[in-house]
Amino acid sequence: MNIATRAAHIGLERETRTGAVTVPIYQTATFRHPGLGQSTGYDYSRSGNPTRQALEEGIAALEGGCRGFAYASGMAAITSLMFLFRQGDHLIVTEDLYGGSYRLFEKIFQQFGLSFTYVDTSDLALVQQAIRPNTRALFVESLTNPLLKVADIEGLAALCKGNGLLCIVDNTFLTPYLLRPFDLGADITVYSGSKYLAGHNDTVCGLVAVKEPELAERVYFHQNGVGAVLGPQDSWLTIRGMKTLTIRMDRQQENALAIANWLTSHPEVSRVYYPGLAEHPGHDLMKERGKGFGAMIAFEVSEPHLVNRLLMKTRLISFAESLGGVESLITFPQVQTHADIEPETLERLGINHLLLRLSVGIEDKDDLIADLAQAFEEGEQA
Amino acid sequence: MKFATELIHGGNPIDPEHGSLSHPIYLSSTFAQRSMDHFGRYDYARSGNPTREALEEAVAKLEGGSTGLAFASGMAAITSTFLIFAPGDHLVVCEDVYGGTFRVLSTLFKGWGLQVSFVDATDQGAIAAAIRPETKALYLETPSNPLIKIIDLAAAAALAKEKGLLTIVDNTFMTPYLQRPLELGCDIVLHSGTKFLNGHSDVICGFAVTGNPELGQRLRFIQNAFGAVLGPQDCWLVLRGLKTLKVRMEESQASAKTIVSWLKEQKGVAKVYYPGLPEHPGYETHLSQASGPGAVLSFELASYDITKRLLEGVKLAAFAVSLGGVESILSYPAKMSHAAMPAAEREARGIKETLVRLSVGLEDAEDLIADMDQILNR
C-alpha cells in the first residue's frame, strides 16, 4: 500500500461498534476489568490508550516498523530512547544536531555516565573513527538541523551492524514519506511529531518507530515505566495531521525549491543550504535514496543587520521556533534553537550570526517570495 | 484567601481581553516573536504554554510552593525529579512505595548507579539508620499505598534538614486540601494529578511543586530538556477538575468514613486500613499533619475466594486501577499498582493476595455499601 493511503487510513478501522471513520478520543485514565486476572487489553492509559495506540500503529505503518510509540514531546521521545543505555555507554551523534538534543545529552545524560562524541555524520569515515569499545549506538539526524547535511543512512546502518551498534535516526526533517530509514537498515526512528507529522503547529508530540519486536519491548518498558506519554487529544490531533502529510509535504517542497532558487540569485544572500539545489553536496545521495528534499532552507545573509530586518519585516513568515507546519516560520538558530551549544562549536559548524532558517509552509510560493523580497528592502518595519 | 476560594479564583485570572471566566486552551506549538533581542514570555510550547502555566501556578499555590510543573503522567513527574540526582547518590525510600516508582528505581535508575534503601519510614530510627554519607534525599508517601502507613513528615523533614538531605513527598492520596508537606518542612511535593487533583478519571498527568527557587530552576530545566510535559487540552481539563477538589474530597471522605465503619462489622473482612480509625497506629501523627483521613482505604478479606468474588461482583465500584475519581474504584494491589514489584518483595511488605484497595467516589455511601453487602453477605 502506498504511504499516502496508509496515512489517510490511520485509525480508520478501529471503531467497529459504531463504524466511526475516525478513532474516538478515549479521554479516560483507567479501564474497567472484566474479572480477576482479565483485561480488555487496556488497564491504565499510561500503559496503553486506544487513541494513542491508533497513532502508534499509524507511525509504525508509515515507517514499516513493528511498533510505534507516542510521547509528550520530541525531546521526551529522545529521552525515553536514552533510557535504553547504561552508565559507561558511549554514543556517536551528529555534530550539528538540534540544540535541545545536545542540551539533553550534555546536561542530563552525561551526568548519568553516558558519553557522546559529536561528528559530521555525512562522512562515514569520521563516524567509523569515532567508534570505541563501549560505543552502543549512533544517533544521526537524516537531514541535519539547521545546516541540512545529508547522512548516508544505508552506509551508516551497515557500519552500525558491523560494529554491533544501534542505528537511531532522527528523521524529523524528512518524515517516512521522503526517507524510509528501516528500508536502509536503521533500527529506530524518532520524530518531533510537532513538526511535519502533526503539521499544523498546534501539537507538541514525539514519535518513535522500532523495526524489531525485541527492541520494541525494551522501548515499551520505559515508555510505560517513565510515563512520558502523549495524551489522547493530542494523539487524535496528530493522527488528523498525519492524514494530510503527503499532500502538505508535496506543496512545501515545491515552494521550498522555488524559494531556494530565488534566494540563490538574491544579491544580499551569500549562501543557501537546500539539498534540492544541484550544487548541494548531498543532492545526489538524496535523489537516489529518498523521495524528495524536504522544505527546510538555511541561508546566510551578506550583512549582520539583515538578520534583524528579515526577522522583523516578514509579514507572512512568522518569526518563531519550530518548523514543519502549514504556516511558514523563520528562526535565527544561533540564538534560538541552538542556543545551548557552545559558541565556538556553533561558529566552527557555520551556525553563525548571519544564518537564518526557514521552514516553508503551504502558502502560495509567489506570496512567500514577495514577502521575503519586501523584507530585504530598506524602510519602515512592517 | 481560603482554600475553596483559592480553588475557584487562584490560578485562573479572568482573561483581560475577552472576559472569559475559563482559561483559553492554547493549542499552539510555537509563539511568534516581536523582537530579535528580547523574546516574549513564550517561545515554544514545550518550554512554556499559557494554559499549562495557569495550571502550574494553580497547583503551586495550593501546595504553598513557588514553582509548579505539570508532566505527562505522575511517573513522568517522579522520573523527572529523580533526574536531579547523579550516579552514586543514595536515596532513602519508604518501603511500600507505589509499584511504578519502585520499578523505575529498581530498573532504570539502578542501572545508572542511583542507590536506594527501602525502609519502614514510619520508624524515624529506621530512616536515620539508613542515611549514609552519599545519601541525598528521603522519598516518602503518607498515607502509603496500599497499606495506609503514616509517616511523620515534620520529623522526617527535620532529620533530613539536619543531615543536609532533600525531603520529597508523593502527596497524591491527600492533595493540598488535606495535607501540605511544604509547610511541614519538605522540599518537593509530587502528585499523580490523574487522581484526586483532576478527579474525573479522564486525564493522565503529574505535578512537581517546590518552594525552593533553586530547586524550582533545576526541575524546570529538566522539565524543558526532557520534555515530558502535559498537553494543553489535558491541562485545561485538570484546571476544570481542580475547581471541585474540595467538594469532591469532602464528600468522598465522608463516605469513606461510613464505609469503614460498616466494613469493620463484616465477618468476611479481616482487617481495615484507614488513618481515620483511632486504632490505626499512625492515627495521632496523621491528625497532626493532615486535616482529614482522605478517601482511600484498604482492607483484607477473610479468604482469597471472597476477595475474587468481591472484585468480580461489585457493580458500582469499578474494578480497575487508579483512584481518586468521581467513580469509586476497587483495585487489587498485588496484581495492579504493585504488580511491578516481585512477589517476595510484595509479601514482605504485607501486600497480601486478600488485600483490596477502595477509592471512594461520589456515589451515595449507602449504595456502595449495599453493593458490597450483596456479595459479602449473600
Nearest CA in chain B to A110: B86
Chain B CB contacts of A110 under 8 Å are none
Regions of chain B where pLDDT drops below 50:
none
In angstroms, the separation between the Cα of residue B210 and the nearest Cα of chain A is 20
Q: A219 and A294 in one domain?
A: no
Structural domain boundaries enclosing A321? 245-376
Q: C-alpha distances in angstroms, B29 versus A203, A204, A321, A326, B150? A: 5, 6, 9, 12, 43
Q: Tell me which residue of B24, B18, B16, B19 sits closest to B54, measured CA to CA.
A: B24
Question: Using the beta-carbon criterion (under 8 Å), do B229 and A308 form an inter-chain contact?
Answer: no
Identify the sign of the CA torsion A36, A37, A42, A44. positive
Q: What is the pLDDT of residue B348?
A: 85
Q: Among this protein's residues, is A366 annotated catalytic?
A: no
A115 touches chain B (CB under 8 A): no
Is residue A320 domain-resident?
yes
Is residue A60 domain-resident?
yes
Q: Among this protein's residues, is A195 annotated catalytic?
A: yes
pLDDT tens across B252-270, in order? 999 999 999 999 999 999 9
Cβ A169 vs Cβ A188: under 8 Å: yes
Is residue A166 domain-resident?
yes
- Smallest Cβ–Cβ distance between B31 and the set A28, A307, A320 belongs to A320
- Smallest Cβ–Cβ distance between A227 and the set B73, B111, B311 belongs to B73
Is residue A381 domain-resident?
no
Question: Which residues of B are the active-site residues?
Answer: 46, 98, 170, 195
Which residue type does B361 have? G
- Smallest Cβ–Cβ distance between A29 and the set B72, B319, B322 belongs to B322
Q: A229 and A364 in one domain?
A: no
- Smallest Cβ–Cβ distance between A75 and the set B33, B226, B312 belongs to B226
Euclidean distance between CA atoms B40 and A14, whole angstroms: 42
Q: A16 and A109 in one domain?
A: yes
Q: A93 and A60 in one domain?
A: yes
Q: What is the pLDDT of residue B21?
A: 79
Q: What is the pLDDT of residue B340?
A: 80
A190 forms beta bridges with A170, A208
pLDDT tens string, chain A, 382 residues long: the values are 889 888 988 887 666 677 788 889 999 999 988 888 888 899 999 999 999 999 999 999 999 999 999 999 999 999 999 999 999 999 999 998 999 999 999 999 999 999 999 999 999 999 999 999 999 999 999 999 999 999 999 999 999 999 999 999 999 999 999 999 999 999 999 999 999 999 999 999 999 999 999 999 999 999 999 999 999 999 999 999 999 999 999 999 999 999 999 999 999 999 999 999 999 999 999 999 989 999 999 999 999 999 999 999 999 999 998 899 999 999 999 988 888 888 998 999 999 999 999 999 999 999 999 999 999 998 765 4
A to B CB pairs, distance under 8 Å: 208
- Whether ipTM > 0.90 holds is no
Q: A316 and A184 in one domain?
A: no
Q: Tell me which residue of A60, A340, A50, A7 sits closest to A196, measured CA to CA.
A: A7
Question: Using the beta-carbon criterion (under 8 Å), do B36 and A307 form an inter-chain contact?
Answer: yes
Q: A291 and A316 in one domain?
A: yes
Q: At what angle do helices B99-106 and B74-82 cross, to 10 degrees?
A: 40
Nearest CA in chain A to B311: A36
CATH number of A236's domain: 3.40.640.10
- Residue B166 backbone dihedrals phi, psi, to 5 degrees: -85, 150
Q: Which of A6, A52, A180, A195 is catalytic?
A: A195
B312 touches chain A (CB under 8 A): yes
User: Strand locations in B225-287, DSSP E?
Assistant: 269-273
Q: A252 and A204 in one domain?
A: no
A108 touches chain B (CB under 8 A): yes
In angstroms, the separation between the Cα of residue A209 and the nearest Cα of chain B is 18
Question: Using the beta-carbon criterion (under 8 Å), do A46 and B226 form an inter-chain contact?
Answer: no
Is residue A328 domain-resident?
yes
Is residue A382 domain-resident?
no
* End-to-end C-alpha distance for chain A, whole angstroms: 47
Cβ A325 vs Cβ A200: under 8 Å: yes
- C-alpha cell belonging to residue A236: 487524535
Q: Could you tell me which residues come within 8 angstroms of residue A60 by beta carbon, excluding any fewer than 6 positions away?
A: A66, A67, A68, A209, A210
pLDDT tens across B274-311, in order? 999 999 999 999 999 999 999 999 999 999 999 999 99
Q: Among this protein's residues, is A248 annotated catalytic?
A: no
Question: Using the beta-carbon criterion (under 8 Å), do B225 and A107 form an inter-chain contact?
Answer: yes
Domains in chain B and their CATH numbers? 3-242 (3.40.640.10), 245-376 (3.90.1150.10)
